[in-house]
Amino acid sequence: MPTLVIRQFFRHIGPEQKRVRAMGSMVPFAKMNGLGNDIVVIDMRGRSDAVTSEAAIALAGGDRTGFDQIMAIHDISLDGVDYRIDILNRDGSRSQACGNGTRCVVQALASETGRKSFTFKTLAGILNAEEHEDGLISVDMGVPEFRWDRIPLAEEFYDTTRIELQIGPIDAPVLHSPSAMSIGNPHAIFWVKEDVWSYDLERFGPLLENHPIFPERANISIARVTSDKTLDLRTWERGVGLTRACGSAACAAGVCAARTDRTGREVTVNVPGGPLLIEWRADNHVIMTGPAEWEFSGTVDPLSGDWQAAVEVDA
C-alpha cells in the first residue's frame, strides 16, 4: 500500500546535532486522530521557538489540516522527563492537557524509537503514557481536582458534585446542576436521562463555555449513564467546539460518575468517535486507554502555518 516518505518523521537528535534549526524553517508534522479527535503532532525538537497562535489558526482553517489540538514536541532538560508538549487549540489558545493528543504523540514516538513508555511535561504537570501490545495506549492523566478555586470557579461551592448552573426556564430547565472538576482542564458535566444527541449542544455549548462562573472558560459535556460500567458523552470543547472525542472530558465524566455513585471507578465512556476506558485508581490517578491513528505526514512552518504534504510512494 502507499506510504509517505516521511511517515517516520520523528528523528533522533544526537549530541552532534545540538545546533538549533533556523527559525522559520519547515519542520515535520503528522496529522493523526484519537477516536476522531483531530490532532496535528509537530516535531519542534532541536528548536528554541514555539508554534505560534497564528500558525495554529492558519492550520485549523485547512481542509486537510483542520484539527482540534496541536501537540508540539519540544526538548527538555529535566530528570525523568523525555519531552515537553506544548498544546494549542484550533483558536490559537493554549491547553493544559489533551489525552487523545498524548496518545497520538506516544504512537508517533514509539514508531520512531521502538520504546513503549514515555514521560511528558505539560502545563497540567507530568504525564506518563505507554503503548500496549494490542496497540492501545494508556495515559496517566494525573489526579482530579474538585476544589472550587482550583477548577477554577468564580464562586465558592462547598460541593462541586452539583453546582448552580442551568439552561432554560428556572422552573423547567433543559439542563441543570452539573458536576464540576478539573483534570488539567476545567470541566462541567450535565447528567441527563435522554439520549445525549437530543440536546442542542452546538447552540448552548459556547454560552456555557464562556459563562462568568468559569473564569478560564470550561469544557461542557452532556453525559448519560447506561449501566454501572458505561456512559455516553458529548462534549463542547473549550477553544475547539463540538468534538468527536475529548479525552480529558471522558476522564472527568468517568470520575464524576463514580464520585456521584452513578458508576464504579472503571467505566467505558462512549464518545461520538468510539469508546475510551477510564479507570479512577485507588491512588487517585486517572488512567485513560484508547487508540491513536496516523493519517498523513508533511512539513509546516511553525511561525506562519504554511505547510505541504509528503510525497506518496509505493512501499
Number of domains in the chain: 2
> For every one of its 315 residues, what pLDDT tens digit does the chain have, with 9 covering 90 and above?
233 333 454 543 333 333 334 455 899 999 999 999 899 999 999 999 999 999 999 999 877 888 899 999 999 999 999 999 999 999 999 998 899 999 999 999 999 999 999 999 999 899 999 999 999 999 999 999 999 999 999 999 999 999 999 998 888 899 999 999 999 899 999 999 999 999 999 999 999 999 999 999 999 999 999 999 999 999 999 989 999 999 999 999 999 999 999 999 999 999 999 999 999 999 999 999 999 999 999 999 999 999 988 855 444
Residues 198 and 133 in one domain: no
Confirm whether 111 is domain-assigned.
yes
User: Is 182 within 8 Å of 194 (Cβ atoms)?
Assistant: no
Domain extent, residue 242, equals: 166-284
Residues 84 and 189 in one domain: no
Confirm whether 146 is domain-assigned.
no
Cβ-count burial of 267 within 10 angstroms (0-12 exposed, 13-18 middle, 19+ buried)? buried
C-alpha separations of 89 from 30, 70, 79 in Å: 16, 6, 28
* CATH number (domain holding residue 100): 3.10.310.10
Cβ-count burial of 48 within 10 angstroms (0-12 exposed, 13-18 middle, 19+ buried)? exposed
Active site residues: 98, 246
C-alpha separations of 178 from 41, 133, 159, 307 in Å: 33, 38, 11, 41
Residue 145 is classified by DSSP as B
Pairing of strands 2-4, 27-34: unpaired
Residues 7 and 108 in one domain: yes
Give the Cα separation of 129 and 288 in Å (integer).
9
Confirm whether 273 is domain-assigned.
yes
Residues 278 and 299 in one domain: no
Residues 125 and 172 in one domain: no
Residue 57 has which C-alpha cell? Answer: 489558526
